[in-house]
Amino acid sequence: MNTATQTIELKKDGTAQGVQPNYFARRDLWDWLFAALMVAGAAWAFAQYHTAMNVYEQWILAGTVPSVIWLGWFWRPVRALTVTVGFFSLLAIWLYQTPAGADLARADQVFMLKYFISSQSAILWMSLLFFMSTAFYWIGLFTRAGSAFEVLGSRLAWAAVTLALIGTMVRWYESHQIGPGIGHIPVSNLYEVFVLFCWMTAAFYLYYEDQYQTRSMGAFSMLIVSAAVGFLLWYTVVREAHAIQPLVPALQSWWMKVHVPANFIGYGTFAIAAMLAFAYLIKQSAGETRWYKLAPLWLLGVVLCFEPIVFRQGAQDQGGSYWFVYFGISALIVGAIIGGRRRIAERLPSFEVLDDVMYKAIAVGFAFFTIATVLGALWAAEAWGGYWSWDPKETWALIVWLNYAAWLHMRLMKGLRGTVAAWWALVGLAITTFAFLGVNMFLSGLHSYGEL
């Protein structure tokens, strides 16, 4: 039958075949129960804590409800994640209570708080589980029963994301118990934003893993998360950064609550794109034996093995023994990748999948990084009286934005693909890393409150 003249056949119930029900009609009972639970949870939070919120925070809470509901409908694993995080966060809050009110000393007295769901305990578990997840993903690339290990790596990554969010929510509550005016969303210093980076990067990877039905990208994507966890642990030990501190005046703004998360969606997705670009280059050079053709492998070796030197010089040479161990592990990782590149290439998805995920990650990151940059300009106008001051952090943020804007332009207008796109994404990670950490370590300016 000709498409132009095709008539719509009717089912026995009178509805037209081929006509999809509208968005809300496709929701099932569990979708609506999840929505009702989110609305009830937000109402309870408002009733309990509205006195500690200003009008901007109340609007953020109101806007969070439809956002979380839509996210749970869009990607169903988010529903279980949200409910689990909410349950254990509320359990931790309840365990802190005494007849006289909340007592943070109970973090060392109550078993569940001490070992599992106080903020620091949950974040330490997050760190361990991310390391284990990365290890199992890599074991999966090298063994015959690889899929079973990759499944375990994926499950551990989900558990780590869950504990990271529990730790974040409980830390938020703990900050409000220290004293009047101290409570704040935990995205205010390097310790807190590294936790944010870890779970957000892992969550975005898990989404792509689910959408493309392949777990073999996890070894590379989780490697950057484990590197961030390594920095987080060093920073915790050397600086005792896990201690909750009052906000400096420049950060006492509601803009921080939206600017920083948007920024780190960009950082996280740019990191995923770079690691998949590296996987692309590994797959491409699988059969190569000439040393100069293995440039991406040697590049990774240089970056991983010399990174400790950079951190030691940039952070007053503290934690030398820690970085010596880090150096050794980095060398082992590089050696394993070089030695097993053929096996790795066999297990990786096709070039088309790697290229597509790389593109989508950069596109998402660029959108949110753009939003974060605009929000940062508005915040600067409120805090310092001007939208842009060519502060080193602002200048490097602009460089990051221009880099990925050019990458996307070449992709969409000129069909950028393959090796050039992958190398460009790797260079983008270097630029982004300097904007995130290097500026804090080596340059000073209006953002110097974030220095190492």
DSSP element (H, E) containing 448: none
pTM: 0.90
Q: According to the model, what pLDDT value does residue 136 have?
A: 96
The owner of tokens 């996987």 is 279
Give the residue extent of every domain in the chain: 247-445
Distance of alpha carbon 147 from alpha carbon 151, whole angstroms: 6
Q: According to the model, what pLDDT value does residue 10 have?
A: 44
Residues of the chain with pLDDT under 50: 1-16, 313-315
Mean pLDDT for the chain? 85
Residue-wise pLDDT for 238-260, tens only, equals 777 888 988 887 778 888 888 99
Measure the N-to-C terminal CA separation of the chain; round to a whole number of Å: 70
Q: According to the model, what pLDDT value does residue 8 have?
A: 41
Q: According to the model, what pLDDT value does residue 408 have?
A: 97
Q: According to the model, what pLDDT value does residue 338 have?
A: 75
Q: According to the model, what pLDDT value does residue 163 have?
A: 98
DSSP conformational letter for 6: P
Distance of alpha carbon 130 from alpha carbon 124, whole angstroms: 10
Closest CA to 293 of 303, 280, 284: 284
Distance of alpha carbon 68 from alpha carbon 182, whole angstroms: 27
